[in-house]
Amino acid sequence: LRPSSTLDIFNKNTIDEVRQTFDNYESHCFEVLLYKKNRTPIWLYMQVAPIRNENDKVVLFLCTFKDITVFKQPIEDESTKGWNKFARLTRALTSNSRSNMQQLTPMNQVNEVSHKHSRLAEALQLGSDILPQYKQEAPKTPPHIILHYCTFKTTWDWVILILTFYTAIMVPYNVSFKTKQNNLAWLVLDSVVDVIFLVDIVLNFHTTFVGPGGEVISDPKLIRMNYLKTWFVIDLLSCLPYDIINAFENVNEGLSSLFSSLKVVRLLRLGRVARKLDHYLEYGAAVLVLLVCVFGLVAHWLACIWYSIGDYEVIDEATNTIKTDSWLYQLATSIGSPYRYNASGSGQWEGGPSKDTLYISSLYFTMTSLTTIGFGNIAPTTDGEKIFSVAMMMVGCKAAQLIHFYFKW
């Protein structure tokens, strides 16, 4: 036997060599020394072979183990006393099972079937230096069915992932600040996003999925039924052109608010994002970046809610007067853009800070509250603002505890 190396659990260089074999997707052989519960040593011959898919990418490793204790330390017992080494070795070999003997079959077979078995025997054979190039066979699908792990579908999923983050940012902003898409550039961009989401629905009706038993389901009928039961309704509501409807000037305020509120349904697509990012959680840097993105996204959502509370409470609808204790009124006074009542024109309150200033101030307040800093230059004054601030600080404290526990663990 001439393996590449002998594995010793106390040898750091050998452990690094095993780790390097997996990191570099290489084929390698090792002699492994293990011990049973009764401290009896057992030698195993370990062979590592990378398994590649149709794209020549390693998807998993095949590790085979062969008991070679008889070659290293033949066992002494009452029945073998007085035998020479060759006799004990012959006895140990003949006591192996039929399957192990078939693995030691030589390659010089006459028929093709036996030759295929001999290739496997050659790979598992003691002392063999040849490892086969295993390939993962792609399942056969109908022409109009797409494999869920193919290159095109993977790229398409990343595009949908980016657009989902875009909607997670823009939808709360548009709903809270009641912005109509009068800007042609933004209207075109949002319309393109709606079209891409619609195309995604069509593709999902023709994409395979993994069944309960781990098998790839390629039956078109099963694919459609599975999609209709899972994400179809959410995806359909998320691709409706709410922005185009709101762009019309003749749409009344109540209907416009209804369509704007329905856009929040798009945030449910973030459930797919969580599933796709789950396998990146084993990397420390990826977890840190993900936590920063989640923190910023949550702060953005809370900033939109914080502004909505202030905008709802700043004007008393019953008396048509402005509340001087509202944070919006105090902000407008501090920056020199106070609210004013247009008595001769629309008969409504006008003026106040710009939407950019309002959003930045709201985000600043939520960031300081989530991090439990709170400088006090923007402070809650009404009951609704105080209740929301308390809830936000509780969320920030709990998030800090979870992050500290995760990295400490």
Is residue 53 classed as helix, strand or coil in its secondary structure?
coil
User: Alpha-carbon distance 147 to 141, whole Å?
Assistant: 8
Phi-psi category of residue 35: left, alpha or beta, with phi > 0 → left and psi -120 to 50 → alpha: beta
Amino acid 215: pLDDT: 82
Averaged pLDDT, 9-24: 77
Reference 61, options 73, 47, 72; nearest CA is 47
Residue 148 vs residue 127, higher pLDDT:
148
What is the β-pairing status of strands 134-135 and 41-52?
parallel
**pLDDT tens digits, 367-402:** 988 887 777 778 888 888 999 999 998 888 888 877
With b for 16 or more beta-carbon neighbours within 10 A and e for fewer, the 356-385 pattern comes to: eebbebbbebbbbbbeeeeeeebebbbeeb
Half-sphere exposure of residue 402, counting CA atoms within 13 Å on the CB side?
9
At 16, which amino acid appears?
A: D
Q: What is the pTM of this model?
A: 0.61
User: Alpha-carbon distance 234 to 186, whole Å?
Assistant: 23
Q: How many CB atoms lie within 10 A of CB 288?
A: 12
**Average pLDDT of every residue of the chain:** 75
The full DSSP string for 333-388 is HHTT--EEE-TTTTSSEEE-S-HHHHHHHHHHHHHHHHTT---SSS---SHHHHHH
Q: Is the pLDDT of residue 166 over 70?
A: yes
In this predicted structure, which of 18-22, 140-144, 262-266 has the lowest mean pLDDT?
262-266
Q: Is the pLDDT of residue 126 over 50?
A: no
Reference 405, options 297, 287, 302, 278; nearest CA is 287
Max Cα distance, the chain (Å): 120
Reference 338, options 349, 346, 347; nearest CA is 349
**pLDDT tens digits, 57-93:** 888 888 888 888 877 755 445 454 554 555 555 555 5
Tokens (6 digits) for 45: 């011959």
User: Alpha-carbon distance 81 to 245, whole Å?
Assistant: 94
Q: Which positions ≥6 away from 11 have C-beta within 8 Å? A: none
31 forms beta bridges with: 6, 45
With b for 16 or more beta-carbon neighbours within 10 A and e for fewer, the 186-204 pattern comes to: ebeebeebbeebeebeeeb
Is residue 315 classed as helix, strand or coil in its secondary structure?
strand
- Cβ 43 vs Cβ 67: under 8 Å: yes
Reference 33, options 62, 3, 60, 77; nearest CA is 3
Q: For residues 157, 162, 168 and 171, what is the CA-based torsion angle, rounded to 10 degrees?
A: -100
Kindly report each contact of residues 64-73 with a partner whose C-beta sits within 8 Å and lies 24 or more positions away, as own/partner.
64/123, 64/124, 65/32, 66/103, 66/124, 66/126, 67/42, 67/43, 68/1, 68/31, 68/43, 68/44, 68/126, 69/41, 69/42, 69/43, 71/1, 71/43, 71/126, 72/31, 72/43, 73/41, 73/43
**pLDDT tens digits, 310-328:** 988 888 877 888 888 888 9
Amino acid 117: pLDDT: 43
**pLDDT tens digits, 197-228:** 899 999 999 999 888 877 888 899 999 999 99
Tokens (6 digits) for 169: 């940012």
Amino acid 89: pLDDT: 52
Question: For residue 265, what is the DSSP state?
Answer: G
Amino acid 84: pLDDT: 52
Amino acid 302: pLDDT: 94
Question: Which whole-number Å values give the CA distances from 242 to 183, 234, 255, 265, in the listed order?
Answer: 15, 15, 11, 11
Residue 271 vs residue 148, higher pLDDT:
148
